[in-house]
Amino acid sequence: MDHTVIELMGSDRPGLLSEVSAVLTNLKCNIVNAEVWTHNTRAAAVMHVTDEETGSAITDPKRLSIVKELLCNVLGGGNKKRGAKTVVTDEVTHTERRLHQMMFADRDYERDSDDGFDEKQRPNVNVVNWSDNNYSVVTIQCKDRPKLLFDTVCTLTDMEYVVFHAKIDAEGPEAYQVYQIYHFVLNKHTWTLTCDSICCLVLDVGLLRTLA
């Protein structure tokens, strides 16, 4: 791979991306590509960087350690309640898939407030557990948009659900999705109504991340 992948997770605030870019520039790192998501006061980014002189991946462990330390300081932003995280890797991953995983691991669905959010964009999510058949039915109705199906399946996968049947109707401006799912770990003996509520909440947030 001809670049180094840097994954960032921290507190969102004005000027954050500018400060991150300044740190990388001072360390002679060239940003080849970057994608940033912000949601619920948190920011996640996947950046591809190269050595400014060689144009290749950065391989010096000492230099990479400095990059991680300085970026982590910037991402902290004085938020002691929710920390910052910087990961340097050479693994090849799908950027948007990885951002979903990072946001879910950071528990971005534990939101404090929805102030300022346009309720017209919020999806209508419903989960019904068919305990006798050991699966649940998820229905989602929302405005159709690019990558809606991708965001939905990523969110279900992050919660360790398996989709074994689905029906999608996306004619017109609205999209209607129906999924039959079962959990990789939970079964009808350990399933509770709380599981349904959490599934609804996480799906709701997972479909809003890319709209933030």
Q: What angle do CA 168, 170, 173 make, to 5 degrees?
A: 150
Which has the closest alpha carbon to 11: 35, 34, 44, 36? Answer: 44
Query: What is the 8-class DSSP label of residue 144?
Result: -
What pLDDT, in 10s, does the model give residues 133-142? Answer: 778 899 999 9
What pLDDT is stored for residue 119 in this prediction?
67
pLDDT in tens, 197-210: 778 888 888 888 88
Per residue in 103-124, pLDDT (tens digit) is 999 988 886 555 555 666 789 9
Task: Tell me the C-alpha distance between 149 and 155, whole Å.
Answer: 10
Residue-wise pLDDT tens digits, 162-171: 999 999 999 8
Q: What's the predicted TM-score (pTM) here?
A: 0.87
Ordered domains of the chain (ranges, CATH): 4-105 (3.30.70.260), 119-211 (3.30.70.260)
Distance CA 77, CA 75 (A): 5
Average pLDDT value for the chain? 86
